[in-house]
Structure 1
Amino acid sequence: MSATPGPDPRRARVRRVAGVALVAVLVGLGIAVFATAVTPRGTSSVVAPGGRETEAPVPATAAIYVHILGEVTRPGLYELRDGDRAVDAVAAAGGFTEAADAGGLNLARFVSDGEQIIVPAVGETSAASPGVASDGRVNLNTADAAALDTLPGVGPATAAKILAWRERNGRFESVEDLLDVGGIGEAKLEALRDLVTV
């Protein structure tokens, strides 16, 4: 009677090692695929003197300065980016105080360079209408319909056209852009030139 040979321990060990190696390769491939999927594409590089490759600088958005006062935690002058809104100015100043009338400010409106924002306390009226600078000029980029309506020769219909132009085209780059608004010609532009700003 002959004995049945048992499993070869060397073969079992080789199979285990091969299995572990296969799992390690699959995990490595999975990590490589994941890393490729989340890596940003399209980054440009420049070759510096000496043959070193460096990342190209990303063009910076133009800086603007806004003076925010009133019921904010840290009133003062803040550097923001062109295209920021009033909410960004409030955030830069540390947010509203407990006494602030948050509804007294249109947080969604764009801010412009050199603008002063006054956040009123509850029960207090703001010193200036939205979009009206401290010198009384109306800012074409931030004024609401009521502020535009205060301009001579600009009634509700023309104010609505100015707001519609701003909605379609973005910011006014110069006062002369008013000529692109229906109903405003050279004569009306000259009457408004010293009363408005951008």
Structure 2
Amino acid sequence: MRLRWGPAPRTLAALALVLLVAVGLAGFHFWSVRPQAVSAPETVEAGASEVVEDPLRPGGASPVAGVPPSSSPSPGAAGEIVVDVSGKVHRPGVQSLPAGSRVADALRAAGGVRAGTDVTGLNRARVLMDGEQVAVGLPQAQAAPGTAGGAAGAPGSSGPAAPLSLSAATKEQLETLPGVGPVLAQHIIDHRTDNGGFRSVDELRQVNGIGDRRFAVLRPLVQP
């Protein structure tokens, strides 16, 4: 009876094999679903700019989305002005200055005022305009718009006592007129030499370098 109902050795071996496989599967399942430590993402430093390759942009680099591109320095939009500094300065002539410069800056660019020059009537704090003349210490210097003059005479004088003669004035006297520098004064002298003087003030329009705007300033200050 014991031999009839007892398990055969082959059956015991099969049961043991099935049990071993079941234990192995259970262990693999619990091992695969176990909790795992996850590392936190690295913090991106403020201001960091990463670039990625972009074949559509010159240089192949393009800023990453969300990161503002670095701003390149823009050229100075202030520009510059050109003024004519004449009279008693060490280096008279045309000077290029940054826009917004003052008369003092123009004098400094011209080497400074000569010793003993009276600059009482010269407003050195005035802002300069492009194309104007700064006359320092010249007789009959004008304080008209577009010119800063420091005459040796009475400070603050707005012009000479009488209009300047275009046919008889010297080059130095012509340079005291507003907006008239050495080059333009020479053009006036050349015109009167070629035409035998000035018969009317309107002939000043024919001088090279004198347009309607400058003629309107000079007309009340000169005579034939």
TM-score range relative to shorter protein:
0.3 to 0.5
Bigger radius of gyration among the two: 2
Query: TM (normalized to structure 1)?
Result: 0.38
Higher helix share: 1
Query: TM (normalized to structure 2)?
Result: 0.34
